[in-house]
Structure 1
Amino acid sequence: MALPLQVLLVSLLLLIAVPDIYATVHHGVHHAVGSRAHNRIVMPKHHRPKFKPGPWKQAHATFYEGGPGSFGGACGYDDVVKDGYGLDGTAAVSNVLFNTGQACGACYEIQCINSPQWCKPGQQSLFVTATNQCPPNYYESSDNGGWCNEPREHFDLAEPAFLKIAAYKGGIVPVQYRRVPCQKQGGIRFTITGNPYFNQVLVWNVGGAGDVESLQVKGNKKLKWTPMKRSWGQKWETNAMLVGESLTFRVRASDGRYSTSWHIAPKNWQFGQTFEGKNFK
């Protein structure tokens, strides 16, 4: 018996459509199985923007004398000249800015203002790195000697830095300042000291935000990252056994950006050595 014309038309349409449906389903199943077979999940990447200059703020600046080994004490920098900060580019900051060592490595642009008598005419901006702490002096009032007392934001500059923007006799001058990105040559440096049962790492030459909020280390035999604890300034410590393993360091700056330096210390690294990793741009 002949089939009605309508049934023939429907059957013909199904024959045309089914291969496409089959191909779509088969492709989807193959894609899903393939993803599981490779045990790979593709996640979107979130990129934080590069560190940018902050707003201008008001403060004051003084100066103190010393040498390469005395301008980096509270941050753990052994020699500010050797470490690349220079005598004319370092500053001790008051407690409010120092923030228990968090500010170590942060960079600032400073301008002498509102003091025609002491600000040098035509002076350029001064760019400094926080390498030390200006401790409070509670025996003096904050406006007469206790320049670094809370809640003052204050810069006690290395003398060569101060003399770039103000006269020696000025003593204390009003300034405006802002956080700026740190421009560094080469990568982040990691200097390892301590002993097999206590490892201490000094982190320096950090670009971008400049300061370090957290540090993690991982040996080639360890599956998990080991968080390091801030000892003081930019010195970080851990009791983890790391001797005999190649080391990877992960730095997190205050702006939330990460920099991971993979296996920069070889398995035969020694205490007292410095290794160079990846820097922030």
Structure 2
Amino acid sequence: MGAIQATVIYLILLHACRSRAAAQDGIWKSATATYTKETDGSIINEGACGYGNLHKSSYGKYSAGLSSMLFNRGSSCGGCFEVRCVDHILWCLQGSPSVILTATDFCSPNYGLPADYGGWCNIPRAHFEMSEAAFAEIADQQRADVDIVPVQYRRVKCERKGGIRFTVKGSSLFYQVLISNVGLDGEVVAVKVKGSKTGWIPMGRNWGQNWQCNINLAGQPLSFEVTARTGTTVASYNVAPSNWRFGQTFEGKQF
């Protein structure tokens, strides 16, 4: 088999996998949920996706930590999930209202505890660790016996204000960018960067939604190409001026 044929077959299979994933997004699936007590009622820690202060990154109280099964080694970061409490007349609020959560953190397994008593995030459980404020919108957390509730979840589109945000990090020979505020399905599967003196350079996932490449782009306006889980790509040209500095955040186009 030639290289061209192999590439074509790979692209067809990739498209088929993404199509199946998209078709299943609207299906309700079973999971469980707990909440983390915070003084202001929301999760503000940096988390495993690297978004930093979650209020500043716009995710706020609707952030969630995902168990291994859902986190998918960080590729789910930024993805949006609709979650509702089900199957418990005392714990779930009437009408089974739902909330839209953004994946921002990893809920670590605890194999010292059984999966049905404390080890909520152990493989292969599907579990959401929510903020107390978001949890209160679907369940009655005031009841003394409520620490975990049965829920259903499904993947949904992310509604974002403004464009995709690019936070530049790294050093002169280690260039890194944090991708946040992503619409559509919220997940980023590929990123490319382009300076005024370069072509499009593919970046590798460092961790969470931090992407990297080993190249010096100082003094060049920067453009970015972002590909979502569904295969849709959007390019933002010259979003960072030639005098950009590490630590700055720039806003590009949205899906």
Could you say which TM-score interval applies, normalised by the shorter chain? 0.7 to 0.9
Match in the other structure for 2:218: 243
Q: Which has the larger radius of gyration?
A: 1
Match of 2:180 among 178, 181, 204: 204
Match in the other structure for 2:79: 106
Structure 1 residue 96 displacement after superposition: 0.8
Structure 1 residue 122 displacement after superposition: 3.1
Structure 1 CA distance for aligned equivalents of residues 29 and 45 of structure 2: 24
1:29-44 mapped onto 2 (5 Å cutoff): none
8 Å Cα contact 1:60-1:174 kept in structure 2: yes
Query: Is 1:279 aligned with 2:254?
Result: yes
Normalized per residue, which structure has more helix?
Answer: 1
Match in the other structure for 1:59: 31
8 Å Cα contact 1:71-1:158 kept in structure 2: no
Overall identity of the aligned pairs, in %: 49
Structure 1 residue 239 displacement after superposition: 1.3
Query: Is 1:259 aligned with 2:231?
Result: no
Structure 2 CA distance for aligned equivalents of residues 116 and 226 of structure 1: 54
Structure 1 residue 229 displacement after superposition: 1.4
8 Å Cα contact 2:43-2:60 kept in structure 1: no
CA gap of 1:103–1:129, structure 2 versus 1, over 3 A, is: same
Query: Is 1:78 aligned with 2:52?
Result: yes
| Structure 2 counterpart SS, 1:60 | strand
TM-score by length of 2: 0.86
8 Å Cα contact 1:200-1:236 kept in structure 2: yes
Match of 2:203 among 198, 207, 228: 228
Match of 1:160 among 120, 133, 151: 133
1:134-213 mapped onto 2 (5 Å cutoff): 134-168=107-141, 169=143, 170-213=146-189
8 Å Cα contact 2:85-2:92 kept in structure 1: yes
1:9-48 mapped onto 2 (5 Å cutoff): none
8 Å Cα contact 1:61-1:175 kept in structure 2: yes
Match in the other structure for 1:10: none
8 Å Cα contact 2:168-2:178 kept in structure 1: yes
Aligned length: 231
TM-score by length of 1: 0.78
**Any gaps of 5 or more consecutive residues in structure 1?**
1-47
Partner amino acid, structure 2, of 1:264: V
CA gap of 1:70–1:81, structure 2 versus 1, over 3 A, is: closer
Structure 2 CA distance for aligned equivalents of residues 69 and 253 of structure 1: 25
**Any gaps of 5 or more consecutive residues in structure 2?**
1-17
Structure 1 residue 237 displacement after superposition: 1.3
Structure 1 CA distance for aligned equivalents of residues 166 and 127 of structure 2: 29
Structure 1 residue 69 displacement after superposition: 6.9
8 Å Cα contact 2:36-2:43 kept in structure 1: no
